[in-house]
Structure formats: C-alpha cells, structure tokens
C-alpha cells in the first residue's frame, strides 16, 4: 500500500509553487498525493506570516487534519515555521517544524511517519538560507506559477519576509527556461512568474551579489520559449520595473498587458516611514509609461492602510492619489503588527476600528476602479483562457488583460484559448461576451 500524503498551502503564489515541487518529490518517492480533506498518513502545512489571519488559521488546519486521521504525521513548513518554529511545534498534534532551508529536504526528516511525543524543530539561522531551490506549481491545468527568485534584501519596516526567506537570490536562467519548457510540454497555456522580489532577478545566482542576468534578460529569454501562449508577471516593485521591460512587454509574443505593482501608500511621508525605495511620483511615472505603451493594460495595486503614523490627512492623500490614477483594481491590506519589525515599535498607532474603516473605503474604491476598467473594455476583442471549474453552471476565464468573463458551462472550453468580443457586465461583476471564433458553439 502506498503511503498517502496531503498538503495545505497558505499565502502567496510562491508558496503554492514550492508546495507543488515538494509534493512531486514525495510522489517520486512512491507516495500518493490526496486531498487535504481525505485520510492521509502525513499532512504538510505550508505556512504564511504576511497577515494576522494566516497565523491564526494554522491551529484550525491542524485540527482539520487530526479530525480526519488522529494518527497522521503532521509537518509545518514555510514562513511562519521559520519565524516562530517553537510556537508551531507546541501546537497539539504537530510532529515536525522545518525552516526555510530544511523544507526542501523534508523527506530526510520524516522517517517512518510515527508520531512524536512533542514537535521537533529543525530550523537554520536565516542567514544560512543562501541557496536556491527552483519550483513551479500546476493548479487547474490552465496556468502554472513559476518561481524565478527567492528572498529579499529590502528592509521595509513592516515586513517579516527577509526574516522568513533570507537574502535575495535567483534561479539560473538555464533552469528557469528548462522549467518553462516542462510546463509548456504539459499543455499548460499560461505561466505566472513568481518570487519574493522578482524585479531583483539575477542576484545571487552563484551565492553572491552578482547580477549574472537582469530581469529584462529573463523576460526576453522566456518570450522565445516555444509553446508558451501566455506569460504573466506577478508582483514587481515600481523601482525595479524599468522602461525597457515595459516597452518589451508591449511588443512581446507571449507577455500579457497586466502588471501588479505594490504601492503601499500614496503619501510620501508614510512611504519614508515604511522605508520603501521610491516616492509617489515614480509610481505615477510607471503607471503612465504602461498606459502610454499599452492603453488597455490592467494594473493592480497593493496598498496598506493603518500604518503607524498614518493620519487622516495621509490616508486621504492615498485615497485621492489612487482615485486619480489610471489603475484597474486594488489589493488592500490592513496593517497588522509583526514581531521583530521596526514598525511594531513605532508610536502613533492607528486604532483598529480606524484601520478597518480605511480598509473598507479603499475596497469600495477598488470595486469602482475595476468596474470602470471593465466598462472601458466593452466592445473590444480579446483572447480568453478558460478555467477548469464548473461554478454553478458557468465557466469563467480571463482575457490577456485580466478581465474576468463568464459563459454557460461547457467542458470542451476548459484550458482553451478563444477570440471573443466583450459585450456587457453581468450582475456578479464578470463580463459577458460573444465568440468571434465561428467554430465555437454555446
């Protein structure tokens, strides 16, 4: 009988790509991967520490696993496991906690899957996390998350990621291209590039600070890989998104006109307190450059509300800055204190009810921005890639510039690309369309 293993991933696309790679390793060793809700001999939880909720969810997920199989071996890996290993090891039912370097060698620590009396911790000092492990995740067969970079050398005052993932380091260009070709060979139509700070790509390929290749060179090389229909850049810092990259994407074969660019605050005073590496003027310049070269590009924005010292004036400065900017949607994060960060010791703490109110205002602005962007796209012809899930009788997909569309469920459409004309916005906020391809029947 094959041993059964199940995985649960919290957090970002990068975590999903690493979970996938670790899971493939177990499958190569003879394990059968099952759903987390199924009975397994081993449960692996890949943790996140970016938001408060991710920390709190860990105990609930362990309980879920124990309910299905009280005798199962439970392991915790990921960012939270690196930051607070003893805390996780103390959770009832946890047998093993592995840090940033050890998680990729998890099979070495597992033995016969017998439960431990107390959770064992194997966690290096984060300074030792200086080697690179490439990975990619294949989700619903329509897109894959390809890791190209890990770690971060920035010192943003609110962020624990450098403490959890170590220094900035990158995959070799050769290995990224090999992984991209593997993904393409599986019939997957879209690759999303992911990492902690992907614009810093090239640093530390050889365990040093040398930039052997730039992010632009990575993008140019990936654009030449045969068989990839779409390449999407995930989150990239505004100061690292250069004109040359924007201009290349505008005329590339495979890269789509969609950018996600963290802002965090529209107030220069708050950006300085956060120790971000740009001011709001540079951010405006990046957005304008994208829209000049790709007028229909989708631009997503990360923003944090309630950072220590953020007055009502600072918040309104952010609100008006975003309102006037030609962007498409927001990811709004309510600031939460993190141990061992400079921001956690700052004065002028914003009350939680004020943070919540500001978050609600920006989420409302995001709905307005997305609606306006979708309206601007009505009547245009786009290419849609359909997803693999039947959601209440409908199939959904995304255009190259990230407009979400819907049609009555048709399994023949799964993981296919089609020319469409965007017609009207549906009650759920997605867009109805008509096929331009004459071969399609709906």
C-alpha span between 232 and 37 (Å, rounded): 31
**Given this model, what pLDDT does residue 104 score?**
86
CB atoms inside a 10 Å sphere around CB 429:
12
Is 264 in a helix, a strand, or coil? strand
**Given this model, what pLDDT does residue 131 score?**
65
List the alpha helices (DSSP H) in 90-242. Answer: 107-110, 161-165, 173-185, 215-222
pLDDT tens digits along 185-239:
988 999 999 999 999 998 876 666 777 899 999 999 999 988 889 999 989 999 9
C-alpha span between 328 and 410 (Å, rounded): 29
Contact (CB, 8 A) for 418 and 386: yes
C-alpha span between 363 and 349 (Å, rounded): 22
C-alpha span between 34 and 109 (Å, rounded): 21
Task: For the chain, list residues with pLDDT below 70.
Answer: 50-55, 124-131, 139-141, 205-208, 438-442
C-alpha span between 44 and 183 (Å, rounded): 24
List the alpha helices (DSSP H) in 258-331. Answer: 268-274, 280-293, 312-324
| Buried residues in 17-37 as b, exposed as e (16+ CB within 10 A) | bbbbbbbeebeeeebeebebe
Contact (CB, 8 A) for 180 and 144: no
What six digits make up the tokens of 364?
């409302």
What six digits make up the tokens of 361?
């205002």
C-alpha span between 83 and 398 (Å, rounded): 36
H helices, E strands: number in the chain: 13, 20
The pTM of the full predicted model, rounded to 2 decimals, is 0.88
**Given this model, what pLDDT does residue 137 score?**
81
What six digits make up the tokens of 399?
């255009």
**Given this model, what pLDDT does residue 438 score?**
60
pLDDT tens digits along 233-252:
989 999 999 999 999 999 99
Contact (CB, 8 A) for 184 and 144: no
């Amino acid at each position: 009988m094959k041993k059964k293993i199940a995985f649960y991933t919290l957090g970002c696309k990068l975590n999903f790509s690493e979970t996938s790679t670790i899971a493939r390793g177990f499958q190569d060793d003879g394990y059968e991967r099952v759903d987390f809700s199924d009975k397994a001999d081993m449960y692996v939880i890949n943790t996140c520490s970016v938001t408060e909720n991710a920390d709190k969810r860990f105990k609930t997920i362990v309980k879920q696993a124990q309910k299905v199989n009280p005798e199962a071996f439970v392991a915790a890996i990921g960012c939270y496991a690196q930051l607070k290993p003893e805390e996780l090891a103390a959770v009832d039912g946890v047998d093993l906690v592995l840090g940033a370097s050890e998680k990729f060698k998890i099979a070495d620590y597992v033995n016969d899957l017998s439960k431990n009396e107390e959770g064992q911790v194997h966690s290096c000092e984060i300074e030792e996390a200086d080697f690179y492990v490439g990975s990619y995740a294949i989700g619903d067969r329509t897109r894959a998350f390809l890791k190209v970079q890990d770690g971060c050398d920035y010192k943003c005052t609110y962020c624990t990621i450098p403490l959890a993932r170590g220094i900035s380091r990158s995959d070799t260009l050769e290995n990224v291209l090999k992984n991209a070709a593997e993904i393409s060979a599986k019939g997957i139509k879209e690759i999303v590039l992911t990492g902690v700070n992907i614009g810093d790509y090239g640093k530390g390929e050889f365990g040093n600070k040398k930039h052997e290749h730039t992010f632009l060179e990575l993008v140019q090389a990936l654009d030449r890989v045969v068989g990839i229909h779409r390449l999407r850049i995930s989150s990239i810092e505004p100061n690292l998104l250069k004109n040359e990259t924007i201009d290349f994407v505008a005329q590339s074969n495979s890269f789509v006109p969609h950018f996600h660019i963290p802002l965090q605050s529209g107030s220069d005073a708050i950006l300085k307190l956060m120790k971000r590496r740009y001011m709001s003027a540079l951010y405006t310049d990046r957005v304008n450059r994208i829209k000049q070269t790709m007028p229909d590009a989708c631009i997503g924005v990360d923003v944090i509300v309630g950072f220590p010292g953020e007055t009502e004036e600072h918040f309104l400065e952010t609100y008006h800055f975003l309102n006037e900017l030609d962007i498409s949607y927001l990811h709004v994060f309510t600031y939460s204190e993190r141990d061992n960060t400079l921001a956690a010791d700052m004065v002028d703490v914003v009350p939680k009810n004020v943070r919540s109110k500001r978050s609600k205002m920006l989420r409302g602005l995001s709905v307005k921005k997305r609606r306006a962007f979708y309206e601007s796209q009505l009547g245009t012809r786009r290419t849609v890639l359909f997803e693999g899930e039947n959601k209440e009788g409908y199939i959904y997909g995304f255009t190259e510039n990230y407009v979400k569309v819907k049609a009555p469920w048709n399994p023949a459409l799964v993981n296919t690309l089609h020319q469409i004309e965007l017609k009207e916005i549906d009650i759920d906020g997605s867009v109805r369309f008509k096929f331009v391809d004459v071969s399609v029947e709906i």
